Amino acid sequence: MRKFLLSLLIYGLCVCRTTDLRCQDFNTCSEIGLFSGASYYIGDLNPNRHFVDSKLSLGIIYRYNVSTRHSVRATAFYGYIMANDADNSNVSLVNRNLSFNSKLFELAIGYELDLFKYRINDMKYPFSPYFFYQIAYTRINPTTEFNGEMIDLQPLGTEGQGTTLSDRKKYNLNQIVVPLGIGLKVNLKKNVAVSFEYGIRKTFTDYLDDVSGVYVDKAILRAENGPLAAELSNRSSSESAQLLNRGNGANKDWYSFYGFMLTIKPFNKSVCERMKGR
């Protein structure tokens, strides 16, 4: 899957390159901007409720506009995701009594396709819907509140990772993800545009929330990883909740960024030579 997505990205970059070979001037093709919006997560603690617990996110974007249809983009986003079983309508999940918070630091590069011809500095082509896909590095760190303190969960191995209870190692806090999304860009005036964007991230981990598998023996976990790991591995408020799996390891977690970007073309030259008259 990762090799396929990497090949798709490379193909898109090659299309950009061959579509407009004369658009090679950094000054004429560059566009920079700021992102403001929100982020949320889909996973074991929030299986299907989009936009729930959305939190403020910020970012920056750089576009290299290869033609009126194709761009290469690089982004850096900061976000925050969270979920709490106490907010669920399912009684068994409420009784599971788990919660998490995690900051997200994402660096991504990829390809953007405009459905209409578009130029940031030309009101002849003032707007376009677009599609984008990227490959990204993301730093996660799930935590939870316990006795008034925020506790890092990954070092504890709450599902027995790194102990005799499991053959799994502790999950990596550094992840490769695949951002996919849609947007709409509109020129406000010459060299200034606004974009409205929604993007969802395909991840390859089920541990954005530190929840994936089954409950493990608390006595053994306490002996090998300490009393805090044992306490946070099972916070169920009823015995019936402990009969269920702690999470669903068959599904990976997702997260999303959505919001708007204000971008400018910061250099003096008007347009790429090849794009003139197209």
- The pTM of this model reads 0.86
The domain that holds 249 is classified in CATH as 2.40.160.20
Domain range for 145 is 2-275
The count of domains in the chain is 1
Torsion region of 144: left, alpha or beta (phi above 0 gives left; psi -120 to 50 gives alpha): beta
CB burial class (10 A; 0-12, 13-18, 19+) of residue 27?
exposed
Can you tell me the distance from the alpha carbon of 186 to that of 239, in angstroms, rounded to the nearest whole number?
Answer: 55
At a CB cut-off of 8 Å and minimum separation 6, what does 4 contact? none
Q: What is the tens place of the pLDDT at every residue in 167-202?
A: 999 999 999 999 999 999 999 988 899 999 999 999
Q: What is the tens place of the pLDDT at every residue in 264-273?
A: 998 765 444 4
Q: What is the tens place of the pLDDT at every residue in 205-248?
A: 999 999 999 999 999 999 999 999 999 999 987 765 556 789 99
What mean pLDDT, rounded, does the chain reach?
88
Beta bridge partners of 65: 71
